[in-house]
Structures are given as structure tokens and as C-alpha cells.
Amino acid sequence: MALWNAVASRLARQRSWTAGVGSSRALSSWWHSVEPAPKDPILGVTEAFLADPSPDKVNVGVGAYRDDNGKPVVLECVREAERRIAGSMNMEYLPMGGSVKMVEETLKLAYGDNSEFIKDKRVAAVQALSGTGACRLFAEFQKRFRPESQIYIPVPTWSNHHNIWRDAQVPQRTYHYYHAESRGLDFASLMDDVKNAPSGSFFLLHACAHNPTGVDPSEEQWREISQQFKAKGHFALFDMAYQGFASGDPERDAKSIRIFLEDGHFIGIAQSYAKNMGLYGQRVGCLSVLCEDEKQAVAVKSQLQMIARPMYSNPPVHGALIVSTILGDPELKQLWLKEVKGMADRIIGMRTALRENLENLGSSLSWKHITEQIGMFCYSGMTPEQVDRLTKEFHIYMTRNGRISMAGVTTGNVRYLANAIHVVTEST
Ligand SMILES: Cc1ncc(COP(=O)(O)O)c(C=O)c1O
């Protein structure tokens, strides 16, 4: 009897505990202190655009390429690669470091087809979850192996850079980059910051088509930056999210990196196929670190894999297969190069059209920076208040820093956009 009573009271205790856990009060109490996260400044723009029922609405906020009808584009080389891949592969895991073939081809784009560093196996490289994942992996690696270091980030920069190094708990410093008055590069202040940073500092550099400003150093300026980095023993991490989008030629757009390589720097590179192959949602990219020798490269690669393993184990296979199929086939690669140039040329054409329209409207302001800046973005110089008016009165959506994604400008909306910009910039 005593035993039965003990069992019964234990069962009762269990039942009331389970009921407590199952009640809505107990469930909701786990997360009662969680406040909604602030909206991402870039992704929030798209949400607001989608919610706007106006037929006139224009989205020049998001950094994704659109054709002249404002539609997302899948490149023909990608479609052809998909046809070739379809049904031919299994769905096994990739190794932790990702597709060896994709990484090999990706390194050639950054370091050069005949790079001695690749031949000597001095580049530690892993497939990454696009450019964001490559930056995040590097930030973790930096924290783990140079825990005392900081990262110097340009002002302004792609806003996610701040989140990435914050989450990796690497302290952030900034360096001058954009000169608001000239809407160009603040080269003198940039060089001062490089000079004044403690020797052996880590710097994040945009390899080309700087986001959000569209302002890149000239070749000569890159040479000077590289020399100053050498004098100070700084480390350069190149974020190359737009290779091919600046000039239309991926080889030309890698110039900054090649200059640093010629000068003997041990650099890191984050590469992405989101923009230049239109593989946004496939999340395919690469992180590489140039090492002193093969032995060091093997060690570094193994540590990068160790960081990836508990985060996502191994990267996705499909996008990597598309990339390696395109770049591994001379004909498909040619088609890709032609299509990248086509995207860059359309954007350059829209820059000319936007500037001409503003000038024809009799704007009292100078808009020459629209055609001087390069890549996907135009840093217009508009104030947050002017951007708010564009949205409220004209249903035009962009980030409040005045960044116009030129990829969203079309022959169909460029006059409307120019007129709206003219109205808000002349009357405030
Ligand atoms: C400067 C820069 N770096 C990295 C990225 C990362 O893009 P993704 O992760 O889609 O490759 C972007 C995307 O907008 C970018 O502008």
C-alpha cells in the first residue's frame, strides 16, 4: 500500500509538472524578455516596398540586379549549367571545406589564372556561404587566432560588416573613406588613418565597386595604399562582392588585389557569386587566406574548417556545382563573361540616363558623381529627409543614406525617378 501511494503521488507530481509546462503561461514565460530586433536597414526597405499597393512604386533599395523590365535575372550560363547538372549528381555532403573544383576556379579569378601562390599551394581556401559567410568565417578566425586585434572598417560601408565583426566580438575601428563634398574618395584622410593605425592592424577593404558609395581608389592610389600597408605591416582583408560589376571585366576588377599580391602582402579575400553570377539565394562564395608556405596553408584551412563544422557542418552543393560547371568549361565561361559585361553595361547606361534626365530638368545641383561612381550603387548625396519624401510622395524606396541601387533603374522608371529626385532636392 505504501509503495502504491508513493507511485501514485509521483505520478500526480509528474502530471502537474507536465500540465505546467504545457500551459500557455509556462510556455510564454521562456521568452517574455525578448524585444523585437531592429529592422535591417537594407532588407527593411524591400519589406516596405512589397507592402505598398501603389502602381508607381519603384525599388532602388535592394542590391540585386534587375533587367530593363525590373525583373530578376537568371543568367543563360547558369541555366545551361543547370541543364547539364540535372539528374547527373547525387546529393551527398560536400567536404567541410566545400567543393574543391569550385574553390580552385574561384581562386583563379581572384589571384590570377597562372598564380604562383595557387601553384605553390600557399592559399588556404574554403567554400563559404556567399560573401557574408566568408566575412563571418574570417571574423571568427581573426578572433580565435589574433584575439587582441581589432578591425578597421571604412566610413561608410555595407551595414552588415558592422554586425559581422560585432557578433565575432572583434572590436571595430573606422577609417576615412568617402568625401561628402566631392562625392569622391577622401584619399588624404584614408592614408592618414592607415599611417596612424597601430602597426599590424587588420583592415577591411572593398576590392572594387565600393558599397554603398560606388567610389573606388584609382590604380595609382591602390599602389600607394599598398605601400603604406607594407610600411605599417597591416593585414588586408579584401571583400570582393562585385567582381565584374565595376568595369564589366572580372580581371580588371581584381586589380587592387593583384597590386597587393605583387607587393608581397599576405592577404585574405572574401568572394561571392551572388551578384556577378546572379546566384544570390544559392549562397556560394569562398574565403581564402594567403600563407607563407604550404604547411601553413594546410594548418589555416584545417582551422577554418573547424570553425565551419559546429556552425553549419558543410556548405551547400548545388550553387557550387553551377559555378564549377560554368568556370570549368571554356565556352560557358565566355558566355558568363559576356553576361557580366552586359549587366555592368546596362547599369552604366542607366547612370548616364539618370544624370541626363536630372540635367534636362534644369537641376541647379551637380549630378556628375552619378556617372563617376561605379558598380551597383550611386551614393546620391540625398539626405534621410529627402529620401523619406521620395518614399512618402513618390513611392520610391531606398536606404535612408541616399544610396540608389542603379540595378533597379530601368528605361521605364528613370524619368519618374529623376523627376522625383529633382522635386525633393530643389525644394529642401
Ligand atoms: C560589400 C558587400 N560585401 C558582402 C556582401 C555579401 O553578399 P552575399 O552574402 O549575398 O554574397 C554584400 C552584399 O550586398 C556587399 O555589398
| 230 noted as active-site residue | no
Confidence (pLDDT) at 63: 84
- Do 284 and 151 share a structural domain? yes
- Do 160 and 270 sit in the same domain of this protein? yes
Q: How much is the pLDDT for 391? A: 97
37 burial type by CB count under 10 A (0-12 exposed, 13-18 middle, 19+ buried): exposed
Query: Domain containing 354 — which CATH number?
Result: 3.90.1150.10
Task: Supply the pLDDT for residue 20.
Answer: 47
Residue 114 lies in a domain: yes
- Domain of residue 211: give its range: 94-328
C-alpha distances (whole Å) from 198 to each of 175, 205, 233, 384 are 13, 17, 9, 35
Q: 241 C-alpha vs ligand 1 centroid, how far in Å?
A: 5
- Among 299, 328, 357, the domain boundary falls at 328
* Cβ pair 135, 286 in contact under 8 A: no
For residue 158, give the CATH number of its domain: 3.40.640.10
One domain, residues 64 and 134: no
394 and 260 belong to one structural domain: no
For residue 239, give the ligand 1 atom closest to its CA: 3
User: Residue 271: beta bridge partners?
Assistant: 240, 286
205 and 157 in one domain? yes
Distances (CA, A) of 362 to 181, 297, 365, 416, 418: 21, 58, 9, 15, 11
**CB of 357 closer than 6 A to ligand 1?**
no
Is 35 among the domain residues? no
- Rg of the chain in Å (alpha carbons): 25
Pocket probe mutation, ligand 1, options 164, 243, 272, 379, max atoms within 8 Å of Cβ: 272
Model pLDDT, residue 428: 64
Surface-to-core class of residue 222, CB atoms within 10 Å of its CB (0-12 exposed, 13-18 middle, 19+ buried): buried
Give the pLDDT of residue 19.
46
Which of 143, 158, 165, 367 is labelled catalytic?
158
CA 247/CA 320 separation, integer angstroms: 25
Mark whether 205 and 161 lie in a shared domain.
Answer: yes
Q: Dihedrals φ, ψ of 259, to 5°?
A: -65, -45
Q: Which of 302, 223, 218, 295 is nearest to 265 (CA)?
A: 223
275 included as an active-site residue = yes
Which among 143, 255, 275, 301 is annotated as catalytic? Answer: 275
- Number of structural domains, the chain? 2
Contact 94, 127 (CB under 8 A): yes
71 among known catalytic residues: no
How far apart (Å, rounded) are the C-alpha atoms in residues 205 and 259?
A: 13
Rounded Cα distance between 215 and 77, Å, is: 29
Q: How far is the CA of 394 from the centre of ligand 1 (A)?
A: 28
423 Cα to the center of ligand 1, angstroms: 32
Q: How far is CA 285 from CA 78, 139, 270, in A?
A: 15, 15, 7
* 412 and 264 share one domain: no
Geometric angle at alpha carbon 347, from 342 and 350, rounded to 5°: 125
Q: Is 211 in the pocket of ligand 1 (CB under 6 A)?
A: yes
Do residue 278 and residue 377 come from a single domain?
Answer: no
**DSSP secondary structure letters along 358-383:** HHHTT-SS--HHHHHS-SSEEE----
Shared-domain flag, residues 302 and 164 = yes
29 domain-assigned: no
CA of 317 to the centre of ligand 1 (A): 20
pTM, to two decimals? 0.92
According to the model, what pLDDT value does residue 122 have? 98
Element (H, E) at 139: helix 130-145
| Residue 285, ligand 1, Cβ within 6 A | yes
Cis before residue 36, ω within 30 degrees of 0? no
pLDDT for 17:
47
What is the C-alpha separation between 160 and 118, in angstroms, rounded?
A: 30
> Residue 150: which of 175, 133, 176, 123 has the closest Cα?
175
**Cβ of 404 less than 6 Å from ligand 1:** no
First CA to last CA distance, the chain: 88
User: Are 104 and 194 members of one domain?
Assistant: yes
Residues 51 and 131 in one domain: no
Q: For residue 189, give every residue at least 6 positions away whose Cβ sits within 8 Å of its Cβ, in sequence order, or none.
A: 176, 179
Place of cell 551637380: 366
Q: Which residue type occupies 144?
A: R
Please tell me if the CB atom of residue 158 comes closer than 6 angstroms to any atom of ligand 1: yes
Q: How far is the CA of 3 from the centre of ligand 1 (A)?
A: 66
Per-residue pLDDT of the chain (428 residues; tens, 9 = 90+): 455 555 555 655 555 444 444 455 556 688 889 999 988 777 788 889 999 999 999 999 988 999 999 999 999 999 999 999 998 888 999 999 999 999 999 999 999 999 999 999 999 999 999 999 999 999 999 999 999 999 999 999 999 999 999 999 999 999 999 999 999 999 999 999 999 999 999 999 999 999 999 999 999 999 999 999 999 999 999 999 999 999 999 999 999 999 999 999 999 999 999 999 999 999 999 999 999 999 999 999 999 999 999 999 999 999 999 999 999 999 999 999 999 999 999 999 999 999 999 999 999 999 999 999 999 999 999 999 999 999 999 999 999 999 999 999 999 999 999 999 999 999 86
Indicate which residue of 239, 253, 255, 336 is catalytic. Answer: 239
Indicate the SS3 state at residue 235: strand
